[in-house]
């Protein structure tokens, strides 16, 4: 498992408002340029069709479509999914920081060879940088 942690100045409830919107997944999770939830929306076992960005991977086409299955939804605390094409688990957990902000932890879990060939080793760090930037620039989610 590869993970990264970052402090975000926004309150946990505000960060959750952003990450819990299915259409915002592509705004903060690198590798996806679009997300289209099924009728379940944000719920365990929901299946979202995702569009990949233009960065090629060893085992996938750039700009292709894929499917993720939502595994964990713990409102305000955790969101996790399984990327069926890349065959990796990914997620984000949120905790209150002592200063009133949020401690965010992003992670990916797959065999090391898959993380390397899919260029997924930096996904957690990149996701948190994007999430931090979004929270710094948005007044309301």
Q: What is the pLDDT along the chain (141 residues), one digit of tens a residue?
A: 999 999 999 999 999 999 999 999 999 999 899 999 999 999 999 999 999 876 655 455 566 889 999 999 999 999 999 999 888 899 999 999 999 999 999 999 988 887 777 777 889 999 999 999 999 887 554
pTM over 0.75: yes
Q: Where are the domains of the chain?
A: 2-137
CB atoms within 10 A of CB 67: 14
Torsion on CA atoms 96, 7, 16, 127, rounded to nearest 10: -150
* Distances in whole angstroms, Cα of residue 43 to Cα of each of 26, 39, 79, 139: 18, 10, 10, 26
Residue corresponding to tokens 């797959």 = 110
Compute CA 117 distance to the chain's CA centroid, rounded to the nearest angstrom. 19
Structure tokens, 89: 């688990």
CB atoms within 10 A of CB 40: 14
Class at the top of the CATH hierarchy for domain 2-137: alpha beta
């Amino acid at each position: 498992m590869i993970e990264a942690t970052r402090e975000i100045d926004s309150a946990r409830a505000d960060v959750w408002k952003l990450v819990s919107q299915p259409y915002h997944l592509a705004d903060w999770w690198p590798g996806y340029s679009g997300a289209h939830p099924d009728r379940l929306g944000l719920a365990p076992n929901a299946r979202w069709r995702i569009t990949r960005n233009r960065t090629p991977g060893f085992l996938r086409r750039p700009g292709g479509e894929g499917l993720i299955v939502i595994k964990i939804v713990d409102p305000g605390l955790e969101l996790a999914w399984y990327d069926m094409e890349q065959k990796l688990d990914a997620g984000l957990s949120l905790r209150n920081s002592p200063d009133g902000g949020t401690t965010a932890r992003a992670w990916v879990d797959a065999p090391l060879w898959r993380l390397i060939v899919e260029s997924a080793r930096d996904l957690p760090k990149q996701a948190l940088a994007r999430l931090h930037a979004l929270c710094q620039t948005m007044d309301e989610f």
